[in-house]
Each structure stands twice: as structure tokens, then as C-alpha cells.
Amino acid sequence: MTNSTPRPRRRGARVTLREVAEAAGVSTATVSHVLNETSGARIGPDTRQRVRDAADALGYRPNAAAKNLVTGTTRFIGLVADAIATTPFAGQIIHGAQDAAWRQGYTLLVANTAGNTEAERDAIAMMLDHQVQGILYSTWYHRAVELPAALRETNTILVNCYAPGSDLPAVVPDEVQGGRTATQALLDAGHRRIAFVNTTTPSPAHDGRLRGYGEALRAAGITVDPALVFDARPEQEGGYDVLPRVLEQGVTAVFCHNDRVAMGLYDAVRERGLTVPEDLSVMGFDNQEIIAAHLRPPLSTVGLPHGELGAAGVRLLLGQQDVPPGGRLEVTCPQVLRASVRNLGAAG
């Protein structure tokens, strides 16, 4: 069945470089050179054309596995994520990493571990088997992680997380600057008595944003009043519940730990017959489009640079960007102004 014709194709087999060579009447080496545009290869223009035509005519496609095998190097980058379905955050990291990788001719091998250690081990093993150039180990919210041992076998960059006691490069959002930026937006609008609704969960976001809040206040000559700092669950319900207490403090503005908290707080404000921003100015954090851009009024907030985190991760991995001393690259959280902050007219 398959042995009566010369060099029979196996089931569904694809056109090989050798077939192109035969069709063009040249050697495989020549085909390889022209198709890869190997620099320093002296091939006549006529031959070049013949090869190209043959390749096109046959619909030739290189076999990546063969190429990988012989060069001993692949253009794969692994990306392990702990939760890609919960929020758009992981998606943004993947997107950023994808684009940056793609631009360099790299392909992403994506694995979702759902926080399962075993799945994580398997995922990393598979990536290693595929000779990835390195692995981006990412989390959907900024936090400390414990590293799977297998990561030691390849280049690893931590994205949106960091490993205490490890010296692996990490790229994370600059929470302190973010907190400073959010507070500054309020200060710039003339607010002086500004509450901060922080999260109840210990995290870099908790500590960093608080610090940024304090720094901005102090830089404006305002003493931080501990009575103005609250803790609430980082969800709508937390924001809703905390409002009465912040109102008691007679503030004109609140900086919320995240947009969800701001959303809940909006509800509580409305329920008391008050309005944002007339009675209370609000800054969020995260810039979750689906909420922030569509609240009434649209919420001013500070963005989390997830896409850039992913992109910077691959640049670090590929050596296109230097790891800063200390091993931690902190990415700026951009301000995004909408309509939830009232300008008091006076600055500072």
C-alpha cells in the first residue's frame, strides 16, 4: 500500500525539506540556507528563486521539532499562572507576555495550576521537557509565593509575586507609588482630610498602598491620622459596611483599597441620600474596567499594570532588560481619572 511508489508519504505526512530539495533539484543544505536566509550563504539568485517556488508549490512548512532537536534550543517560554479564569488580571498578564514574546518570535506555553501543587509540578516538568528558554511564574494578585523546586532547573522570572529568601528576579507593581498616586489625586483636588479604606488581608498591597498614602500626606504637610485608616474586606460588601464609620470622621474624600470596595461604598453613599463626588470624593484601585468605567459617576482610580508585568517578565527573561539591583523590578501604577473626585478649588 505504501511501498510501491518512491519515498511514500506516511499517513497525512507533511512535505519535508528534502522533498523541496528534490523538487528544486538542489540539496537539502541549500534549501535550508535559502529558506532560513542564513547569513553568509552564497546561493545564486536563480537557485534561491527555484527553491522558494518549489517550497511554495508544495506548501512546505518547517517541522519545529526537528529544528529544535538539531539546534538544541527552542523558542518556547513557559508561563504558569495560578488562576486564569477568576479575574481578567491573569489574562492581562498573559496578553502582555504573549505580545512581548511573539515580537521576539517566541511562543508561550501556558499552564493553569489553579493553586494545585501537583498540577504545578507537572506543568513545570512538561515545560522543561519542551526545553523552554525559561519560565514566567505568575500569580493573579500580588503576593509572596513558595517556589516549586523544579523551577531551579531553568531560568525563572516571578511575575506579580516574589519569593522571600530567593534571589530570582521578580517584576511586581509598585504598590507604594500606587498608593501615593491615588492619594495625590485627592490632594491635588484640594482635599485634606482623606480616609483610606485598606484591606483586611495582609499583603504587599495592604502595606504598600498604606505607605504610599502616608507618604503623600506627609509630603503635603498633613499628619497621618490613624482614625482615618480603616480595614475592610476587599469586596463590595466591605466598602458598603465601612461607610458609616468613615463618614463619622468628617472626611471629604476616601481612597479605597480597590474598585470593588469603592463600588460597595457608592451603594452606601447613595442609600444615605448622599452623592459622589458632591458629598464624598472617591478614588479606587485596580482599574477594573467593568466596574470603574461604568459606575455612576465613573470611578477615578489607579491601574494595576498587569500587561506590562507580563511583558517586562519576558524582557527580563530574554535578557533584553536588566534586572535592577535587588532583583525586584517595580512597575508604575498609572493614574486613571474619571469623575468621582470633586475639585475643591484650592490646592493643598
Partner DNA sequence: TTGAAAGCGCTAACAC
Partner DNA sequence: GTGTTAGCGCTTTCAA
Contact 308, 152 (CB under 8 A): no
Contacting a copy of itself (CB under 8 A), which of 110, 216, 312, 331?
A: 110
Place of cell 474624600: 253
Question: Which of DNA, a copy of itself, none does residue 26 bind (CB under 5 to 8 Å by kind)?
Answer: DNA
Contacting a copy of itself (CB under 8 A), which of 15, 32, 62, 332?
A: 62
Question: Which of a copy of itself, DNA, none does residue 74 bind (CB under 5 to 8 Å by kind)?
Answer: a copy of itself
Q: Are strands 170-173 and 156-162 parallel, antiparallel or unpaired?
A: parallel
Q: Could you tell me the three cell numbers for 56? A: 511554495
Is 154 near DNA (CB under 7 A)? no
Interface segment toward DNA; rule CB under 7 A; list 54-62, 101-109, 184-192, 249-257: 54-62
Contact 93, 110 (CB under 8 A): no
Give 7: exposed, middle or buried? Use CB within 10 Å, 0-12, 13-18, 19+: exposed
Contacting a copy of itself (CB under 8 A), which of 16, 30, 74, 252?
A: 74
In sequence order, which residues have a C-beta less than 8 Å from that of residue 37 and are 6 or more positions away? none
Amino acid at 335: Q
Comparing CB distances to DNA, the nearer of 48 and 180 is 48
Is 41 near DNA (CB under 7 A)? yes
Positions in 112-171 near a copy of itself (CB under 8 A): 112, 114, 119, 122-123, 125-126, 128-131, 153
Is 28 near DNA (CB under 7 A)? yes
Comparing CB distances to a copy of itself, the nearer of 12 and 221 is 12
Comparing CB distances to DNA, the nearer of 29 and 114 is 29
Question: Which of DNA, a copy of itself, none does residue 109 bind (CB under 5 to 8 Å by kind)?
Answer: a copy of itself
Binding mask 58-77 for DNA (x = CB under 7 A): --xxxx--xx-xxxx-----
Question: Which of DNA, a copy of itself, none does residue 46 bind (CB under 5 to 8 Å by kind)?
Answer: DNA
What are the C-alpha distances in Å from 6 to residues 1, 2, 18, 179, 219? 12, 9, 13, 71, 82
Question: Which of DNA, a copy of itself, none does residue 332 bind (CB under 5 to 8 Å by kind)?
Answer: none
Comparing CB distances to DNA, the nearer of 63 and 86 is 63
In sequence order, which residues have a C-beta less than 8 Å from that of residue 230 and are 6 or more positions away? 195, 196, 197, 198, 242, 245, 246
Binding mask 183-222 for DNA (x = CB under 7 A): ----------------------------------------
Instruction: Give ∠ CA 274-218-287 in degrees, rounded to 5.
Output: 50
Q: Which residues bind a copy of itself (CB under 8 A)?
A: 10, 13, 59, 61-66, 68-69, 72, 74, 84-88, 90-92, 94-95, 98-99, 102, 107-112, 114, 119, 122-123, 125-126, 128-131, 153, 235-237, 240, 260, 263-264, 267, 270-271, 288-291, 294-296, 306-307
* Binding residues for DNA (CB under 7 A): 10, 13-14, 16-18, 25-30, 32-33, 35-36, 38, 41-44, 46-48, 60-63, 66-67, 69-72
